[in-house]
Amino acid sequence: MAHEVPALPYDYAALEPHIDEQTMHLHHDKHHQAYVNNLNAAIEKHPDLAKHSAEDLLRNINSVPEDVRTTVRNNGGGHVNHSMFWAIMKPKGGGEPSGPIADQIKKDFGSFEDFKKQFNDAAAKQFGSGWGWLIWDGKLKVITTANQDSPLMQGHFPILGNDVWEHAYYLKYQNRRPDYLAAWWNTVNWDEVNKRFAQAKK
């Protein structure tokens, strides 16, 4: 089965005013679709790769044939990262986290505000394109990756991530990445983040 772009779980305009409708159309329908098309084209050259999930391809990136490894890394990463991204946002999201992730954030960062500050600071300073992540490594940690690299490639399951490629925010925020990072928290789906936290601990 070829990889496919998952449908958005909400309307393209549902995250307004924080993320604009036009950006959502371009980001989901054009950028994410391009990653999937390129990933599928790479897999066609090595049909045995088709039996693996995109996540497993990233976890074992060094065993992907060398002639398609960079393509799988970039586009498989783009596919997996964006599939998570759409799911951890929702209309009228945001606010304070609740449940196990809230307790763990308090334990590991002191407070939600302190965590947010650390996350936004790391993501704002990520040079060029990349992502800010929350991962579980015996405790919660904030990391960044370049391009479409996934924490899966380092043996970590991403609990939450924010896309700081310019295509994620430029139409609305232009060069004001910190403004986008601040607004993005109003879209977070904490129920989904709690599910991913439970998965990460397994």
pLDDT means per 10 residues, the chain with 202 residues, are 93 98 98 98 96 97 97 98 98 97 98 98 97 97 98 97 97 97 98 97 92
pLDDT at 1: 66
Torsion of CA 148, 153, 158, 161, to 10 degrees: -20
Residues 6+ apart with CB under 8 A from 129: 146, 147, 164, 165, 166
| Eight-state DSSP code of residue 8 | P
99-201 homologous superfamily: Iron/manganese superoxide dismutase, C-terminal domain (3.55.40.20)
Specify the fold of 21-87.
Helix Hairpins (1.10.287)
Strands (E), 41-138: 130-136
pLDDT at 79: 98
CA 127 to chain centre: 17
- For the chain, give every domain's residue range: 21-87, 99-201
- 144 three-class SS: strand
Whole-structure pTM value: 0.96
